Structure 1
Amino acid sequence: MKIAIIVPMEIEAEYYHKYFHSGSKEMFGSTLFEHFCVNHNDIYIGLSGIGKVQAAMNLASLLSKVDIDLIFMTGSAGSLQAKVHKEDLILANAFAYHDAHNTLAGDYVEGQIPGEPAVFKLDSPARKRFATFLEQQNVKFQEGLIVTGDSFIGSEAQKEAIKANFATALGVEMEGAAFAQVAAHFNKPLVAMRAISDNGDNDANEDFDHFAQKVGAKAAKLICAYLEEMN
């Protein structure tokens, strides 16, 4: 299989660089991807950059050149719910844009871009297999909606505005829905795992760098363990 692993920032990719060795490098679009072979699988690891445009551009550049079979997206997110705590893992089963407001343009709902679904659902067999793997490893995780926008969420006011439209959303970040949209158009399965780095409140800015690195490593270890078991 050809498997892509994409994270937004270098500090979230550090563990992968320690784990994989002797890879080649290749540019796809504006992103440098490292290519490794693990358990007879071709692994492509790259940084998406931060934000929706970077995420969509760099994933599309890879998928346009390589017939990827499975996409893993890892990284961090801010919590939107009291039951979602720092370092918790969220295995997204859907993504939506919290900053798309097009209800005045036609028969659309909040978060919907004209011509696209309101929510990008992740329900592939590949995602279900990974969820089963986490359960077998006794890894605690939550499943649910994650919302995406181009702003760093760092106040209760911002959180409440998002929850007014997406009451059940577990987390908020800056790339996931763009990944899901591109993956859907290329008809590729996406497994998206976010680890909570902050509470998305007034302390988010102070917490972010430290926890992004820590929870990024946590997610990476699980992805690498799963790849070792794949046939």
Structure 2
Amino acid sequence: MKIAIIVPMEIEAEYYHKYFHSGHKEMFGSTTFEHFCVNHNDLYIGLSGIGKVQAAMNLASLLCQLNIDLVFMTGTAGSLQPNIQKGDLILASSFAYHDAHNTLAGDYVEGQIPGEPAEFVLKSTVRTQFAQFLQHENIEYKEGLIVTGDSFIGSQAQKNDIKHNFAQALGVEMEGAAFAQVAYHFNKPLIALRAISDNGNQDANEDFDQFAQKVGAKAAKIICTYIEKMNS
């Protein structure tokens, strides 16, 4: 099986570099992927860069050149709900764009791009198996909608605007819906595990890098353990 793991930032990828060794590097799109062989699986780990365009461009470039069987997306997100706290894990069930406003252009809902689904639902056998692994290992996680936009959410006003349109959304970040849109069009299963690094308000930038590194490693450790146990 060929597995891709993509994260936006270097601080979110550090754990993977410590866990896997002796890989060689290959360039896809504008980013370098490290190629490892793990449990008879080919594993490609790369940075997408920050934002929707970088995420879509680099995942699409990889999928155009390699027949990837499974895409993991990890990294961090901000909380949108009072019961979602720093350090919590969210297994995304769907993604939408919180900065897509096309309701005046036709029969579209908030978050929908014309010609695309209202939400990109993540539903696959491998995702179900991963959720079962989390449950078997007694790893606590939340499951639900994550919304994506090209802005860092660092004020309560921004957070309130998003929650007005997406009351049920659990988290907010800058790449997930773009990954999900590319995976949808390439017909590739996507598993998205985000760790909460901040509360998405005026305190969001306090020690963000340090905490993002910590919770990014938390998500990465789970995925590395899962891949080690996967059958080829």
TM bracket (short chain): over 0.9
Deviations 1:91-128 (A, max 9, x none): 00000000000011111000000000010000111111
CA distance in 2, matches of 1:208, 1:105: 37
CA RMSD of aligned residues (A): 0.5
User: What corresponds to 1:131 in structure 2?
Assistant: 131
Deviations 1:43-82 (A, max 9, x none): 0000000000000000000000000000000000000000
User: What corresponds to 2:216 in structure 1?
Assistant: 216
Task: Kindly state the Cα deviation for residue 208 of structure 1 after the two structures are TM-superposed.
Answer: 1.4
Q: Which amino acid is the alignment partner of residue 162 of structure 1?
A: I
Gaps of 5+ in 2: none
CA distance in 2, matches of 1:21, 1:170: 34
CA distance in 2, matches of 1:220, 1:194: 10
CA distance in 1, matches of 2:3, 2:98: 28
User: What corresponds to 2:200 in structure 1?
Assistant: 200
Q: Is 1:92 the counterpart of 2:66 in the alignment? A: no
User: What corresponds to 2:111 in structure 1?
Assistant: 111
Q: Is 1:58 the counterpart of 2:61 in the alignment? A: no
CA distance in 2, matches of 1:228, 1:28: 25
Runs of 4+ that moved beyond 6 A: none
* Contact residue 197 and residue 207 of structure 1 kept, 8 A: no
Task: Provide the TM-score with structure 2 as the length reference.
Answer: 0.99
Q: Is 1:143 the counterpart of 2:139 in the alignment? A: no
Q: Which amino acid is the alignment partner of residue 206 of structure 1?
A: E
User: What corresponds to 1:46 in structure 2?
Assistant: 46
Task: Kindly state the Cα deviation for residue 228 of structure 1 after the two structures are TM-superposed.
Answer: 0.8
User: What corresponds to 2:185 in structure 1?
Assistant: 185
Q: Is 1:159 the counterpart of 2:159 in the alignment? A: yes
Deviations 1:172-204 (A, max 9, x none): 000000000000000000000000000001110
User: What corresponds to 1:9 in structure 2?
Assistant: 9
Task: Provide the TM-score with structure 1 as the length reference.
Answer: 0.99
CA distance in 1, matches of 2:85, 2:100: 26
SS of 1:73's partner is strand
Q: Which amino acid is the alignment partner of residue 83 of structure 1?
A: N
Gaps of 5+ in 1: none
